[in-house]
Amino acid sequence: MKIAEIIEKYISADSQSRMRIEQEVGQSQTTLSSMLGFMSECAVLAVRQKDKSFIEHGLYANIVEGCRQDFRDNIVQLTKLYHSCLILDLDPDNIFQSIADKAKGEGKDLIISFYNREPVDKTLKCMGIKTTLTPQFDYIQIDWNDNYFKETEYSETTDKKIIAATNKP
């Protein structure tokens, strides 16, 4: 079953069926890893297609994956989803909270802990990520060596919004 189908099934399932889906997903390392890739793809597709539902599906993928691998990988993907909300002029905290309210478990806890982070800890720069528009919108990893700090001085529009909100008197 494709990850998108698993997520659709999960969204429409009752709580008992959701637990079964989470258990089944947890039995396959390949499926767990695919959930992280799906989260990343959702962040990109949300912006490319200007569709909030991709962000919601990415957050559900985080819940289903349940932080069963390295939770730091989930945080990177949550950062992308968060920034996709900002790019689309959506309220990321509200969207993250609304999905977390419909779930249980480690994935939910990570979403809550993410949106409660200090604003600077939600920036793309903090995660070593930037956006590109060539050949089309995407998130890319920054090369940590060379001139990392010089080249990435909160140049992302979404980072600027977060930093501006942090520095209000």
Collapsing DSSP to helix, strand or coil, 46 comes out as helix
Residue 84's closest CA among 142, 56, 44? 44
Domain range holding 112? 3-166
pLDDT of residue 131: 93
pLDDT tens by residue, 69-93: 999 999 999 999 999 999 999 999 9
- Report residue 23 as tokens: 């258990």
Pairwise CA distance, residues 51 & 70, whole Å:
28
- Report residue 69 as tokens: 């691998």
pLDDT of residue 155: 73
Residue by residue, pLDDT tens for the chain (169 residues) are 699 999 999 999 999 999 999 999 999 999 999 999 999 999 999 999 999 999 999 999 999 999 989 999 999 999 999 999 999 999 999 999 999 999 999 999 999 999 999 999 999 988 989 999 989 999 998 876 655 555 556 678 888 888 777 665 5
Tally the domains of the chain: 1
Residue 119's closest CA among 64, 78, 162? 162
- Report residue 107 as tokens: 């994935």
